[in-house]
Amino acid sequence: MTESFAGTYYDGADGAAHAVTLRRVGVSHYALEGEGIRRGGSIAGLRITPRLARVARTIEFPDGARVLVAHDAAIDAWLPRQGRLEAIVDRMERHAQAVAVAIVVCAVSLGVGVFWGVPWLSDRIADAVPPAVERTLGEEVLDNLDHFGLKASTLAADRRDALATRFKKLAHDAGGDDYRVLFRDAPSVGPNAFAVPGGTVVVTDQLVRALGDDREFDAVVAHEIGHQRHRHALRQTLRGSFVAIVAAFFTGDVSSAGAVVVAVPTFLLHSHYSRGFEEEADRYAFDLIARENESPHWFAAAMNALAAKRPERRGHVSYLSSHPSTSDRIASAEAAGQEFAAAHPELCPNGVCPGEEEKDDTCDDCDDEDDESPPTSTENLSCDKPADDDDD
Partner 1 sequence: MEDIIAAAPPLPPPLPPSWAAGMPGQVGPVRTEHRFEFSGDAKEYFRIWVVNLALSVVTLGIFSAWAKVRSERYFYGNTRLAGEPFEYLAKPLPILKGRLIALVLFGSYVLAGQFSWKLQLGAAGVLALVAPWLLVRGAAFRARYSAWRGINFRFVPDYAEAYVRFLLLLIPTMLSLGLMYPYVKGKQKAFFVEHHRYGGAWFKFRATPSQFYPPYVLAWSVVVACLLAVSFLGGVIAIALIGRNGEPPPEWVALVYVVPIYGTYFVVWAFLAAALSNLVYNHVDLGPHTFRSTLKGHRLLGIYAGNTVAILASAGFLIPWAKIRLARYRAESLAVLAAGDLAAFRAESRADVDATAAEMDGLFDIDIGL
Note whether 383 and 338 are within 8 A (CB): no
The distance of closest approach from Cβ of residue 41 to partner 1 in the complex, given in angstroms and rounded to an integer, is 18
Note whether 7 and 37 are within 8 A (CB): no
Residue closer to partner 1, measured from CB, 15 or 386: 15
The distance of closest approach from Cβ of residue 364 to partner 1 in the complex, given in angstroms and rounded to an integer, is 18
Instruction: Name every residue whose Cβ is closer than 8 Å to that of residue 376 and which is 6 or more positions away in sequence.
Output: 300, 327, 330, 331, 334
Residue closer to partner 1, measured from CB, 140 or 178: 140
The distance of closest approach from Cβ of residue 254 to partner 1 in the complex, given in angstroms and rounded to an integer, is 6
The distance of closest approach from Cβ of residue 13 to partner 1 in the complex, given in angstroms and rounded to an integer, is 5
Residue closer to partner 1, measured from CB, 206 or 295: 206
Cα gap 334→271, rounded to integer Å: 25
The distance of closest approach from Cβ of residue 73 to partner 1 in the complex, given in angstroms and rounded to an integer, is 19
Residue closer to partner 1, measured from CB, 53 or 157: 53
Cα gap 73→57, rounded to integer Å: 12
Q: What is the DSSP string of 75-123?
A: HHHHSPP--HHHHHHHHHHH-HHHHHHHHHHHHHHHHHIIIIIHHHHHH
Strands (E), 26-65: 29-34, 37-42, 47-48, 57-60
The total of other beta-carbon atoms located within 10 Å of residue 359's CB is 13
Residue closer to partner 1, measured from CB, 41 or 113: 113
Residue closer to partner 1, measured from CB, 60 or 214: 60
Exposed e or buried b for every residue in 87-98, given b needs 16+ CB within 10 A? eeebeeeeeeee
The distance of closest approach from Cβ of residue 251 to partner 1 in the complex, given in angstroms and rounded to an integer, is 5
Cα gap 321→274, rounded to integer Å: 9
The distance of closest approach from Cβ of residue 237 to partner 1 in the complex, given in angstroms and rounded to an integer, is 4
* CA max distance for the chain: 107
Q: What is the CA radius of gyration of the chain?
A: 34
Residue closer to partner 1, measured from CB, 66 or 283: 66
